[in-house]
């Protein structure tokens, strides 16, 4: 069969789809990845067909506009989401037609939540299509939406309301543009005011972390994380291998939010690491970071796969993106999250609640004193390490996420 996987966003957003594509190809299927230009190299590496989907929001909004959305909202999620969706309206006219081109000859379509053409292309092409979520965000009365996690204080009604608000906040800003495209380009009827309903859904997230809610319908299939496994065999530069070979090492990096990190935060992080002489691998791409001025116990890292690096460090500090979160948990490492936007505050609180690391430290109220306090807890609290090992063992005993997801797809087909 010919599978097309539409996935847009950051590297962390499209890597699980590529992992699924690799597994599908190994089973003899033809796989096309429809994504932004930055996914091309990974597709070529694993011999997957690549088709360009234009409208890369991370490229179009630029560093300055990204800072405005992130810091202008002062950490208020609804303001950040409004800013993001305003920008999404700009990219729709590029994303929609190129998504159609990418999926034009597919037998089966799999798409991510931000691939806005997905639900409509399956209908237009008359082929099976699946929404593939990277976190457990299908509506339920038992677990709040990860975008609005405070709603659980109102019980089951609050949880359902959080999912409804999140969906409408993502749907309403683009509803008119989507319906215009459906009518004028696809020849389809308008979508209802409240948007798509009961889409066949794959939740590529482990039930070891969030158990499957009992009120999910049969259209929702929970599998597990889809990960590119063979990056564990990556060969590091000699300098990195030598740095990691002696003593416990901390990792600090913020993934797709690296460039959005405020320079003052970078300065405070370096000040604390220098003062306490904590041996650390830190992202070399953080704003204003000058590798030539770092002490010998801080290693500026250009690149290393998380699945290779994290098992070799003692603890991790990151932004709380779900891909980075999974890599840290599979490595069994205590975690401190510095959450910037969208779902990251939710996962910061998740880490704290599961006693896998300290209370998350907001970048919008970041101080040297609080960072030093959190680091002391992260590196000395034995309970964090014990719990992280328990999670690791549970994940290791789970069925391979990509294989599990393929089984679910084929059983539904």
Got the DSSP string for 29-72? Answer: -EEEEEE-GGGHHHHHHTT-EEEE----HHHHSHHHHHHHHHHH
- 335-337 β-sheet, strand order: 298-301, 280-283, 250-252, 315-318, 335-337
Residues 6+ away with beta carbon under 8 Å from 192: none
Residues 10 and 130 in one domain: yes
Residue 197 and residue 121 in one domain: yes
**282 and 358 within one domain:** yes
Q: For the chain, what is the domain count? A: 2
pTM of full prediction above 0.85: yes
Q: Are residues 218 and 257 in the same domain?
A: no
CATH number of residue 307's parent domain: 3.40.50.2000
Alpha-carbon distance of 41 to 228, in angstroms, equals 14
Contact predicate 159/141, CB 8 Å: yes
Task: Find, among 45, 63, 50, the residue nearest to 7 by Cα.
Answer: 50
What span, in angstroms and rounded, lies between the C-alpha atoms of 261 and 280? 18
Residue 93: band (very low, low, confident or very high) from pLDDT cuts 50, 70, 90 = confident
Local structure of residue 130 (DSSP, 8 states)? E
69 phi/psi in degrees, rounded to 5: -65, -45
Mark whether 9 and 129 lie in a shared domain: yes
Report d(CA 336, CA 319) in Å as an integer: 9
Clarify whether residues 6 and 126 are in a common domain: yes
Domain containing 69 equals 2-224+399-412
End-to-end CA distance of the chain: 11
C-alpha 279/C-alpha 15 separation (Å) is 29
Q: Are residues 125 and 239 in the same domain?
A: no
Percent of the chain with pLDDT over 90: 75
Q: Is residue 265 predicted with pLDDT exceeding 60?
A: yes
Residues 385 and 346 in one domain: yes
CA–CA gap between residue 135 and residue 13 (Å, rounded): 11
Residues 10 and 115 in one domain: yes
Q: List the single range of 6-10, 231-235, 364-368 with lowest mean pLDDT.
A: 231-235
SS3 102: helix
Are 151 and 241 in a shared domain?
no
Does residue 284 register a pLDDT over 90? yes
């Amino acid at each position: 069969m010919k599978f097309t996987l539409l996935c847009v966003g950051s590297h962390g957003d499209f890597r699980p789809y590529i992992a699924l594509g690799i597994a599908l190809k190994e089973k003899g299927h033809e796989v096309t990845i429809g994504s932004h230009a930055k996914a091309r190299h990974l597709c070529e590496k694993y011999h997957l067909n690549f088709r360009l989907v234009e409208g890369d929001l991370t490229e179009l909004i630029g560093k300055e506009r990204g800072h405005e959305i992130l810091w202008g909202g002062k950490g208020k999620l609804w303001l950040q989401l409004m800013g993001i969706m305003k920008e999404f309206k700009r990219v729709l006219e590029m994303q929609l037609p190129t998504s159609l081109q990418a999926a034009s000859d597919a037998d089966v379509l799999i798409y991510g939540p931000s691939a806005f053409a997905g639900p409509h292309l399956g209908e237009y092409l008359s082929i099976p299509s699946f929404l593939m979520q990277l976190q457990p965000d299908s509506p339920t009365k038992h677990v709040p939406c990860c975008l609005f996690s405070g709603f659980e204080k109102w019980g089951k009604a609050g949880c359902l309301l959080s999912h409804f608000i999140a969906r409408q906040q993502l749907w309403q800003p683009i509803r008119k543009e989507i319906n215009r495209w459906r009518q004028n380009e696809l020849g389809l009827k308008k979508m209802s005011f409240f948007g798509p309903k009961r889409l066949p859904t794959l939740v590529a997230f482990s039930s070891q972390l969030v158990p499957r809610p009992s009120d999910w319908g049969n259209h929702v299939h929970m599998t597990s994380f889809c990960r590119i496994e063979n990056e564990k065999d990556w060969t590091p530069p000699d300098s990195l291998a030598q740095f990691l070979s002696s003593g416990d090492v901390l990792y600090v990096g913020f993934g797709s939010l690296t460039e959005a990190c405020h320079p003052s935060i970078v300065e405070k992080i370096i000040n604390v690491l220098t003062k306490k002489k904590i041996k650390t691998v830190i992202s070399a791409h953080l704003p204003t970071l000058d590798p030539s001025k770092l002490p010998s116990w801080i290693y500026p890292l250009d690149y290393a796969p998380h699945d290779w690096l994290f098992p070799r460090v003692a603890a991790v500090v990151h932004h709380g993106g779900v891909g980075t979160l999974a890599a840290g948990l599979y490595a069994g490492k205590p975690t401190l999250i510095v959450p910037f936007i969208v779902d990251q505050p939710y996962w910061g609180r998740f880490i704290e609640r599961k006693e896998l690391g300290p209370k998350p430290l907001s970048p919008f109220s970041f101080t040297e004193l609080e960072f030093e306090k959190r680091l002391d807890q992260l590196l000395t609290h034995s309970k964090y390490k014990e719990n992280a090992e328990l999670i690791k063992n549970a994940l290791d005993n789970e069925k391979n996420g990509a294989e599990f997801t393929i089984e679910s797809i084929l059983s539904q087909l």
